[in-house]
Structure formats: structure tokens, C-alpha cells
Amino acid sequence: MEQSPQDQSDNTSGQLHLDKMCQPDGLDHGFGNALEQKANNRTFRVYFQNVNSIKSTRWEKWLHTCTLIKKKEVDLFGIAKIGINPKFPQATEEVSQIAHHNWTHAITTLTNTQQDQRGLPQRGGTSMATTKHWISRVVEKCQDNKLGRWTYHVLRGKNKHQVVFVSAYRICQHRVSGPTTAATQQWLSLVKDGHGDPNPC
């Protein structure tokens, strides 16, 4: 299947985002031990990345994402701009199956705007995944089904403490810019809810 120039551009951009994970300076802001260090049994490793869509012809980008994240021994990760329509048949199932291809146990949550969208591609959206034995500590998971701006997992810690991990995406456009952009989708959703002239930013 041939890809349009726009699809090729999105795939190239997304691939560059993912390949940064393999570089020592791939993180904009890092805390704790570096990803290049091997994790020990006292490490809980969290990662976030804007991947500019996980969809490709045969889900290679999502598989590549999961493979790299597993290599870095990440336990919980968030992704912005997933670029897929969670309401599309089999979309959530495909994402979950590929995650389970890398981890025996994984909980995935994904969302995008409430706008009616035909087909699998849909700009914007967020997702979060908790993997390995940590799934037993997930006590709550939720997503923004209206604007697709965030997903979160709540994990149970020691002494009944709970920690909330949020994957969020804020659009950068101040005005609607094209019929299918995340900004336009969020603007239309807000108008549908009765807001006169909303600013999705």
C-alpha cells in the first residue's frame, strides 16, 4: 500500500521521536538514574514521549515503541499524539495485543476527542500503559473522552498511599487550522457543548 506524502512525513517525524530513546541525550528532562543504566529491583521507571502517531500500515510504529520501551526497562509510560481513533473497531484490541506481545502483563488506556471520525487515523490523543507486575497495583484508570487531552493510572503504594500518573497533551495552535487537526476537533467538541467561541489551548 502506497502512503501519501502526509503519511510519509508523519511516519518520518514519529520515527525520529522514537529513535531519540536510544540516544543518551534523548530525554528533554530526566530524573533519577539514566535510561542507559540497568534497572534494579528498587527502580520504578516512568517514561513519556510525544510520538506523533503510533499508527502505520501494519502497526510497526507501535510495535517499535513497545520494543524500545521494554529495552529501556520502563514500567509505566505515557504517549502523546497517538494519532488513532479508539472508537474504530479493533483499534484498542490491536494496541493491547501488541503491548502483550512485549509484556505478559500490561494495562493500556487510550483516548481521543469525542468527534465522529471515520477510519482509524485521528490526530491528537493520549495513552498510558502500566506493565509487568506493577499492574497489580493499578487501582484506577481513566481517560478524557471529550477532548482526548489526558489519560491516567492510579497506583497503590506503601502505607495506603496512592500515586497518580498522568499522560497529557496540550495543543499548540491558538486557532483552528484545518478540518482534522487536534485543535479543530477540540474546538468542535467545545462548541457542541455550548461554548460560543472557545480557545482549545
Lowest-confidence pick of 7-21, 89-103, 106-120: 7-21
- Residue 1 domain-assigned (yes or no): no
Q: What is the mean pLDDT of the chain?
A: 82
Lowest-confidence pick of 40-44, 65-69, 144-148: 40-44
d(CA 98, CA 63): 6
Q: Which helix (H) or strand (E) holds 167?
A: strand 162-168
- Residue 2 domain-assigned (yes or no): no
* Confidence band for 3, pLDDT divided at 50, 70 and 90: very low
Is the confidence at residue 196, as pLDDT, over 90? no
Indicate the number of domains in the chain: 2
Domain ranges, residue 195: 174-201
Give the max Cα distance, the chain: 55
pLDDT digit string, tens, across residues 57-91: 778 889 988 999 999 999 999 999 999 998 887 88
Residue 7, pLDDT score? 44
Query: By the 8 A CB rule, do 105 and 138 touch?
Result: no
**How many alpha carbons lie under 13 Å from residue 144 in its C-beta half-sphere?**
21
* Top-ranked range on mean pLDDT: pick from 37-41, 56-60, 91-95, 104-108: 104-108
Looking at the structure, do residues 131 and 182 belong to the same domain, yes or no?
no
Looking at the structure, do residues 108 and 67 belong to the same domain, yes or no?
yes
Looking at the structure, do residues 41 and 29 belong to the same domain, yes or no?
yes
Beta bridge partner(s), residue 77: 47, 129
Chain centre to alpha carbon of residue 82: 5
- Backbone torsions φ then ψ of 141, nearest 5 degrees: -145, 145
Is the confidence at residue 8, as pLDDT, over 80? no
* Confidence band for 106, pLDDT divided at 50, 70 and 90: very high
Give the dihedral of Cα atoms 75, 76, 77, 83; nearest 10 deg: 110
pLDDT digit string, tens, across residues 169-186: 988 766 667 777 888 877
Looking at the structure, do residues 37 and 110 belong to the same domain, yes or no?
yes
d(CA 75, CA 44): 6
Lowest-confidence pick of 18-32, 57-71, 73-87, 131-145: 18-32
Q: Region 97-126: what's the mean pLDDT?
A: 89
Looking at the structure, do residues 156 and 185 belong to the same domain, yes or no?
no
Looking at the structure, do residues 166 and 182 belong to the same domain, yes or no?
no
d(CA 132, CA 105): 5
Looking at the structure, do residues 182 and 137 belong to the same domain, yes or no?
no
Is the confidence at residue 23, as pLDDT, over 70? no
Residue 173, pLDDT score? 61
- Residue 128 domain-assigned (yes or no): yes
Looking at the structure, do residues 76 and 140 belong to the same domain, yes or no?
yes
Is the confidence at residue 1, as pLDDT, over 80? no
d(CA 55, CA 74): 21
**How many alpha carbons lie under 13 Å from residue 25 in its C-beta half-sphere?**
0
Looking at the structure, do residues 90 and 48 belong to the same domain, yes or no?
yes
Is the confidence at residue 29, as pLDDT, over 90? no
Looking at the structure, do residues 121 and 195 belong to the same domain, yes or no?
no
